[in-house]
Amino acid sequence: KSYLVRSTFNAGLEPVDWMKREVLAFGSDRFWKVSVSHPGGENVSIERATPTAEPSLTNKPEGRELLSADKPQQVLEALASVSLDDVRKAEGLDFSQAATAVYTTYQGMTFTVRSVAADGKTWVNIAVAYDKGNAAPLTEGATAPSEETIAAIAKEAGELHARLSPWASQLP
């Protein structure tokens, strides 16, 4: 007995073809605020009172207008879903003049995102930390998180930091 089998196998030729391209995936309501700093010294901050509230620009530069009314929402939720096109070791890049965005979740986890141009591409490095002192103030009637919840958030931050901080990603 014999069988005729036809199959196609595409292993991919580029290293990026073998990588998990999704870097972060969170609920978009997890982020409380973001502070963006540019090398020239201009800083802007976006914050929302509750996960369902409209975010607002808390320190709009004088004489500047928003490109669109939903821009603060887009910036605040930019880390909710992050995928990459390429990756390299972060240690080979100079982040001393990087634009920096610090995203903070309601629970106090911070994502420090630094971006720099090199080799004709924009590279992003993400460091993650947790400090319950950075958590949003509790709303009326809310209870403080349990020690078990705090430990779970700290563990998640540590795992994310270990996975993301050594690398620089080129985002689509």
**CA dihedral sign, ordered 23, 41, 76, 105:** positive
C-alpha closest to that of 147 among 155, 157, 158: 155
The predicted model gives 89-105 an average pLDDT of 94
Q: What is the pLDDT of residues 121-170, one digit of tens each?
A: 999 999 999 999 999 988 888 888 999 999 999 999 999 999 999 999 99
Query: Taking the mean position of all CA atoms in its chain, how far away is CA 105?
Result: 11
Residue for token digits 């007995």?
Answer: 1
Residue 19 has pLDDT above 70, yes or no: no
**Cβ(162)–Cβ(124) below 8 Å:** no
